[in-house]
Amino acid sequence: QDDGVVLETARPKVKPPKRYQVVLLNDDFTPMDFVVDVLTRFFGMDEAKANTVMLAVHTKGKGTCGVYSREVAEMKVMQVNQYAREHQHPLQCEMEVV
Ligand code: TYC
């Protein structure tokens, strides 16, 4: 019966998964329109948001496109860099742990 004793089971600590920022780097050659296309195509931004982010990267040198799990961030980085290379633009995308 209820004697007030609480039994707790020991369990290994699980850490929350790390999150990763996907970052776009500025360069002097990639057309602004192409960067806006990338941001709408791969990061689900509307045209206005994509324009704002593109201009922030253009003026500040780099900027965050979104924050994801490692797997999703790796996929976005690969897709963006491949898409840029296919179109012969030097646009660079990287990931950073938050
Ligand atoms: N600086 C580029 C230009 O003037 C535009 C640009 C913006 C390029 C963002 C890359 O990540 C970038 N055409």
Angle formed at CA 68 by CA 62 and CA 18, multiple of 5 degrees: 105
Domain ranges of the chain: 20-97
Does domain 20-97 fall into CATH 3.30.1390.10?
yes
What's the pLDDT score for residue 7? 75
Please indicate whether residue 22, judged by its CB atom, sits closer than 6 Å to ligand 1: no
**Could you tell me the distance, in angstroms and rounded to a whole number, from the CA of residue 34 to the centre of ligand 1?**
9
Please indicate whether residue 94, judged by its CB atom, sits closer than 6 Å to ligand 1: no
What's the pLDDT score for residue 8? 80
C-beta of residue 91 within 8 angstroms of C-beta of residue 38: yes
Helices (H), 1-98: 32-43, 47-60, 70-86
What's the pLDDT score for residue 68? 98
To test the ligand 1 pocket, which listed residue (23, 36, 57, 65) has its Cβ within 8 A of the most ligand atoms? Answer: 57
Residue 4 token pair: 């007030």
pLDDT along the chain (98 residues), means of 10: 77 94 98 98 98 98 98 98 98 98
Q: Model pTM?
A: 0.88
Task: Looking at the CA of residue 31, tell me the nearest atom of ligand 1.
Answer: 13
Nearest residue to 92 via CA among 48, 19, 20, 28? 28
Place of tokens 């900027």: 63
